[in-house]
Amino acid sequence: MKTCPRKLLSVFAALTLFGAVAACSGPTEVTSLDNLVTPEDERKTRAGSVFGEDGFTIGGRKRLSPGETTGIGVNSFLWRASLDTILFMPVTSADPFGGVIITDWYTPADTPENERFKLNVYILGRALRADGVKVSVFRQVQDPSGTWRDSSVPDETAIKIEDAILMKARQLRYETVEQ
């Protein structure tokens, strides 16, 4: 049984590395979430209209730091990096305003058929910080009767996924600042 957590850790490390390398190839379909908020919506949010959509505004525009947008409630670099990193798993729910990504159960090709994994990713704020992302990893093993039972996952697994997300977010921020 001790080999399962090591095997799981090596599988996630390999998939994370693969995801990081694959992300270098360019934008994917997942980045289409940028279209959830129109430029007009962003303008209205920043301006703070008093008399309707095109009315009198007070306060001017709020200055945003790089990676901070009014379109989503969390840091955009962490959001995109999270999606890019866990792209190999089917995403059940993605809430860009609350900063929660939930995957469906996934069985990697090189693991036994009676083992599956699930991730919950929480983006905790608008700043790009090391403690700005939290990952929960769940593992289930199927017993001989066919019932799925929860099984433990080493803490290092979630930490490695968080590190991969942070590394990708820093890379995205660096690319944006260079432009």
Sign of the C-alpha dihedral, residues 82, 85, 87, 89? negative
Nearest to 120 by CA among 139, 101, 98, 105: 101
Amino acid occupying residue 151: S
Walking along the chain (179 residues) 10 residues at a time, the average pLDDT comes out as 54 53 44 46 52 49 52 87 95 93 94 91 92 96 94 95 96 89
Distance between CA atoms of residues 116 and 106, nearest Å: 5
- 134-163 in b/e form (b: 16+ CB < 10 A) is ebebebbeeeeeeeeeebebbeebbebbbb
CA of 159: how far to CAs of 20, 101, 151, 166, 171, in Å? 16, 16, 18, 10, 18
For residue 86, what pLDDT is reported?
95
- Entry pTM: 0.61
For residue 27, what pLDDT is reported?
42
Q: Identify whether the C-beta of residue 87 lies closer than 8 Å to the C-beta of residue 19.
A: yes
Q: Identify whether the C-beta of residue 94 lies closer than 8 Å to the C-beta of residue 79.
A: no
For residue 15, what pLDDT is reported?
54
